[in-house]
Amino acid sequence: MPLARSLSVTSLSGLEEWDEEFDLEDAVLFEIAWEVANKVGGIYTVIQTKARLTAEEWGENYFLVGPYVESNVRTQVELIEPTNPVLKRTIDKMNASGCKVYFGRWLIEGSPYVVLIDVAFTAWSLDRWKSELWELCDIGVPWFDREANDAVLFGFLTAWLLGEYVAQSEEPPHVVAHFHEWLAGLGLVLCRHRQLPVATIFTTHATLLGRYLCAGNVDFYNNLAEFNVDKEAGDRQIYHRYCLERAAAHCAHVFTTVSQITAIEAEHLLKRKPDVVTPNGLNVKKFSAVHEFQNLHAQSKNRIQEFVRGHFYGHLDFNLDKCLFLFIAGRYEFSNKGADLFLEALARLNYLLRVNHSDVTVIAFFIMPARTNNFNVETLKGQAVRKQLWDTAQTVKERFGKKLYESLLVGQLPDVSKMLDKEDFTIMKRAIFATQRQCQPPICTHNMLEDSSDPILNCVRRIGLFNSSADRVKIIFHPEFLSSTSPLLPMDYEEFVRGCHLGVFPSYYEPWGYTPAECTVMGIPSISTNLSGFGCFMEEHIADPTAYGIYILDRRFRGVDESCNQLTSFLFQFCKQSRRQRIIQRNRTERLSDLLDWRYLGRYYISARHMALAKAFPDTYLYEPHDPTSTTGFRYPRPASVPPSPALSRHSSPRHSEAEDNDEDERYDEDLEAEKDRVNIRQPYSMPFKNKLSTANGANGSSDGDASEKN
C-alpha cells in the first residue's frame, strides 16, 4: 500500500512562511492530556518538550490541562493563584460546585501554566456521567475498566472547565482546545455536543486498535483495509475505548496524527483521514564547541565500561577498547518494539563475528521495564568485586609511589625488584583470587518475578547466547528504567545513550519513535524501520540516510527472515567500521538534529491550530493551506566523502581505508562537510501569528508591501 500524503505533507518546506499573520491576542489555547505533569509514556515527552515553543507563541494565553497527581505535583508543579481573571472565576466556580481544581506553573522549560483537575475527588459523579454518556453517545463503559472510568471523569471535568470559561468571559473568546489521545477525547465530544464556541483539535499518537492488533502477531499493515474494526475491538474487550477514540476523531474540527504511517492506520481504523501530520520534535541544544558531544560520548562510554568490568568479572577476556555497546529501550512490548528481531539478529551476528575471527565484542543492552523484586545478587557482587580491585590497586600504587619518592630523594634510581614486597604481592593475589567465578556472567541484572515466561529470557535460552567466553556477542537485560541513583548502573538515560555506539529499534509498531530521535540529537547512530514514523520521516528528508548513521530496516515489504538478515547485515557492517569511521559517522548524525528541532516541527501544530480557528470562527479567521503538491521538500544530499558507487559504499557507511589511522589518507574535512549540510536547511525563524480578517478589513485592505515589511 503506497504512502499517501495528508493535506500538509511532512516535508519541512511543505509549509512555507505564512504571508499573512494570525492575531492571537484575544485567543486562548487549552492543551489537554492525561500526561500533563504525569509521566506515563511518550506523550509526556511530546508535551514537555513542546511547551517552551508554544508558550513563546501564546504567552499568557496558554494553559495545559491534566489530572492532579499529588506525588507528581510535589516535585514538578509550583501551585499559584491564577493570573487570568476569567480563569480564576472559572476555577473558583468549579471548586464551589464540588470539584478540586488547582492552578500552577509546571517546572519545565518555558514554565507553562497548568490547570490540574482532581479526578478522584469527583468520583461520586461517575455513575451519573456514565449514564449521560450512554444517553448522548450510546457508549457504555464497564465498571471494571478503571482507565476508562478515569477517562469519563476527566472528559466531563474538562468539558465543564471549557464551558465555564466561556460562560465567565465578558466577550465571546476564541478558544482553541487541543486534546491528546483517547483518555482526553471525551471532553472534545462533549464540547461539540454542547455546541461550545471552541475550536477543537484531536491528536492520536497511536491508535488503540493498532497497538492491540500488532501485539497479537497479526499481519497488520498488509490487512489494514480488511479489518472488521468493531469486531476486532469487541474481541479484545476495548470496544468502549475504541468508540471514545473514534468519536473524538470524527467530532474534532481538525484531526492530526504524528506520522504518515499512522495517518494511513487512522484512516482505516478510525475512518477519518488526518487533516495535518504533526511530527514530534525535541528541544535541541547546540554545543558551542563542535566536537563537545564527542567528548561527552567518551566520558559516558568510560562509565559504561566500568559497569561492564564488574558485570563480567572473572570472564573479562575481551578487549574493552574494541567493544561496541548496542542498546534497545522502551516499553516492554516484545514484538511491537522489535526485541524478537533484535535477539535473532544478534545470534546471527555472533556467528558471523566468530567465523570471521573478529576481535570486536558486541555488548547489547535491553533497557525495558518488567516486573522484578530486587537486584540480582550476582550482579551486585560483580560491582563490589570491581570496586574492591580498584581499592587494592590504589593501595598498592600509594605504597609503590612512596618507595619511589624516597628512593629519588636520596638520589638513587629505584631497584624495581624491591619496589613491591611480599605483602604487596599477597594483597594482589588475594584480589585476583576474589575475581574467580564458577558461573557465567548473568544475563539479567534483576530477579524477574516471571522468569520462566519472560519473552526476552526465553528467546535468549532458545538462541543460546549465555555470555560465554566463546561468544562475541554478550547480552545484558536491565528490566528497569535507568537512574543516576541506581547502585548498579548509576547513569541517567541520556548519559547512557551518549555512551553507546548504536541504538537498535527494529519496531513493528512505532507511530513515531522518540528513542531513535533522541539518539540522533545526541549524535548516536541508530537503526529504525520503515514502519516507524521516525524512519519514514528520515527517508523523506535524507537522500542517503545510512550515510548519516540512520539505518532504515525494511519491515514493510520483506518477510521476517529477510528483515532479520538485513538487520544482521547492518550490525555486521557497523562492527567492521574503524574507530575513525565511527567518529565521522557520529559527526554526520549529530548534524541531523536540526531536522528534529521543535523550531521546525512546531509549525505543523501551529498550522493545525490556525486551521481549527478558521473552521470554528470562519467570520474572524482565514486560513488557506498551501497546495502540498506544489513543493517536493528538501533533502539532505549524500555526503561528499562517501563514494558514489553502491558497490564501494556498501550500506553507505564511511569508506574503509587500508590506511585508516593515517589522517592524511582520510579525505574528510569535518568543517567543510558540516558547512555543506548547513546550506541544506534553513535556520529556525520566529513564526508570525497575526492573520485576523477583522484586522485586514478594518485597514480596508492594507497593501502587500506593508505585509512584506512586517515579515
Per-residue confidence (pLDDT) for residue 163, from 0 to 100: 96
Strands 101-106 and 27-32, by their bridges, are unpaired
pLDDT tens sequence across 284-316 = 886 655 578 889 999 999 999 999 999 999 899
Measured CA to CA, the distance from residue 122 to residue 161 in angstroms comes to: 14
C-alpha cell at 635: 533533502
Mean per-residue pLDDT for 500-505? 98
CB–CB of 281/51 below 8 Å? no
Lowest mean per-residue pLDDT among 4-18, 357-371, 454-468, 496-510: 4-18
pLDDT band, residue 418 (cuts 50/70/90): confident
Give residue 642's pLDDT: 57
Task: Pick left, alpha or beta for residue 371 (phi over 0 → left; psi -120 to 50 → alpha; otherwise beta).
Answer: beta
Q: What is the pLDDT of residue 671?
A: 66
What is the rounded CA–CA span in Å between residue 273 and residue 262? 10
Q: Give me the sign of the Cα torsion angle 449, 455, 456, 461.
A: positive
Ranges 4-8, 392-396, 458-462, 700-704, most confident: 458-462
Say whether pLDDT at 653 is over 50: no
- What would the pLDDT profile of 420-454 be if each residue is shown by its tens digit? 888 888 888 888 887 888 889 999 999 999 999 99
Percent of the chain with pLDDT over 90: 68
What is the pLDDT, as a whole number, of residue 407? 86
pLDDT above 80: residue 566: yes
Whole-prediction pTM value?
0.84
Q: Which amino acid is at 239?
A: Y
Burial track 592-611 (b if 16+ CB lie within 10 A, e otherwise): bbbbbbbbbbbbbbbbbbbb
Amino acid 707: pLDDT: 37
Mean local confidence (pLDDT), 139-149: 95
CA atoms 204, 205, 208, 211: torsion sign = positive
Least confident of 114-118, 364-368, 588-592: 588-592
Partners of residue 255 on adjacent β-strands = 202
* pLDDT beyond 90 at 669: no
Q: Is the pLDDT of residue 610 over 90?
A: yes
Q: Provide mean pLDDT across the span 127-138.
A: 95
Least confident of 30-39, 289-298, 324-333, 544-553: 289-298
Q: Write the burial class of residue 554 (CB in 10 Å: 0-12 exposed, 13-18 middle, 19+ buried).
A: middle
Mean pLDDT throughout 322-339?
Answer: 94
168 vs 682 pLDDT, higher one: 168
Average model confidence (pLDDT) across the chain:
86
DSSP H helices, 10-69, are: 42-58
Task: Report the length, in residues, of the chain.
Answer: 711
Q: Cβ(243)–Cβ(251) under 8 Å?
A: no
Is the model's pLDDT at 135 over the cut of 70? Answer: yes
Q: Give the count of beta carbons closer than 10 Å to the beta carbon of residue 450.
A: 11
Give residue-wise pLDDT tens across range 48-63: 999 999 999 999 999 9
The band of 635, judged by pLDDT with boundaries at 50, 70 and 90, is low
Task: Give yes or no for residue 27 having a pLDDT over 70.
Answer: yes
Separation of alpha carbons 190 and 312, rounded Å: 58
Distance CA 363, CA 65 (A): 43
232 has pLDDT over 60:
yes
**Could you tell me the three cell numbers for 539?**
527517508
Identify the structural domains of the chain with CATH numbers, from first to last: 27-277 (3.40.50.2000), 291-376+442-595 (3.40.50.2000)
Confidence band (pLDDT; 50, 70, 90) for 8? very low
Query: What share of the chain has pLDDT > 70, as a percent?
Result: 84
Greater model confidence, 285 or 641: 285
pLDDT band, residue 200 (cuts 50/70/90): very high
pLDDT category, 572, cuts 50, 70, 90? very high
Q: What integer is the mean pLDDT of 138-161?
A: 96
Q: Is 541 within 8 Å of 11 (Cβ atoms)? A: yes
With beta carbons less than 8 A apart as the criterion, state whether 315 and 385 touch. Answer: no
The secondary structure of 506-547, three-state, reads: CCCCECCCHHHHHHHHCCCCEEEECCEHHHHHHHHHECCHHH
Q: Of the given ranges (5-19, 149-163, 489-503, 599-613), which has the lowest mean pLDDT?
A: 5-19
- pLDDT value for 703: 39
596 in Cβ contact with 281 (< 8 Å): yes
CA distance 164 to 198: 12
**pLDDT reported for residue 675:** 64
Tell me, what DSSP letter sits at residue 124? G
pLDDT at 131 over 80: yes
C-alpha distances in Å from residue 520, one per residue of 594, 595, 606: 10, 10, 24
Going from the C-alpha of 340 to that of each of 29, 455, 505, 530, the distances in angstroms are 42, 8, 11, 17
Q: Give the per-residue pLDDT at 563.
A: 97
Q: Which residue has the higher pLDDT, 428 or 138?
A: 138
| Position 662 pLDDT exceeds 60 | no
| pLDDT at residue number 245 | 97
The mean pLDDT of 256-268, rounded to a whole number, is 96
Q: Give CA separation, 529 vs 183, 279, 338, 437, 534, in Å.
A: 28, 16, 10, 40, 8
Least confident interval from 7-11, 173-177, 212-216, 575-579: 7-11
Contact indicator for 329, 368 with CB cutoff of 8 Å:
yes
Model confidence at 629: pLDDT above 90? no
In order of 323, 417, 516, 553, 555, the CA distances from 566 in angstroms are 22, 56, 18, 7, 10
Tell me which of 197-201, 269-273, 309-313, 705-709 is least confident.
705-709
pLDDT of 216 > 60? The answer is: yes
Of the listed ranges 117-121, 370-374, 701-705, the least confidently predicted one is 701-705
